[in-house]
Amino acid sequence: MARIIAVCRSDAKGTKKEPVDEGTLKEGFGLLGDAHADSAGHRQVSLLAVESIEKMRALGLNLKPGDFAENLTTEGIDLLSLAPGTRITIGDEIVLEISQIGKECHTGCAIFKQVGKCIMPKEGVFARVIRGGLVKVDDRVMQDRLNDGRVH
């Protein structure tokens, strides 16, 4: 079963995020209390698979969820296979729509300076909050099987 293994937020952009017990995803906005939440943007929430973090740990780096500035760290779902427009459900109520895979990373971001490499440009996934709610560790994550991944 795919699940959320960490909910993370920060007060400033370009910094590591700290895990919290739970958070509120607000429709059309993002994670309340996080510097990246923005009603105008299409990158309201960032997701990164723990499997991606594990690749970096295998290089001998001591990393934890939030170190790449992701809001939600997942386990057991291939985020990179989700095309923009695909919807995922978290828990019983939250619906996110994938809006972007990867990003252009500005040179010398704080993550790169602290870690020596950043995986968000290739393996980070961004989403809009379609339906908000409370998100917490161990919430189940499922791809919306009714949505074929194409933007209609």
Domain spans of the chain?
A: 3-141
pLDDT for the residue 75: 97
Q: Give, for 95, the enclosing helix (H) or strand (E).
A: strand 94-101
The ranges of the chain with pLDDT < 70 are: 103-121, 145-152
pLDDT for the residue 103: 67
pTM: 0.87
CATH of 3-141, one of 1.10.1740.10, 3.60.40.10, 2.40.33.20, 3.30.465.10: 2.40.33.20
pLDDT for the residue 152: 37
Closest CA to 79 of 135, 145, 125: 125
Rounded to whole angstroms, the Cα distance separating 152 from 148 reads 10
Q: Give, for 52, the enclosing helix (H) or strand (E).
A: helix 50-57
pLDDT for the residue 151: 43
Mark 74-113 as b/e (b = at least 16 C-beta within 10 Å).
bbebebeebebebbbbbbeebbbbbbebeeebeeebebbe
pLDDT for the residue 28: 95
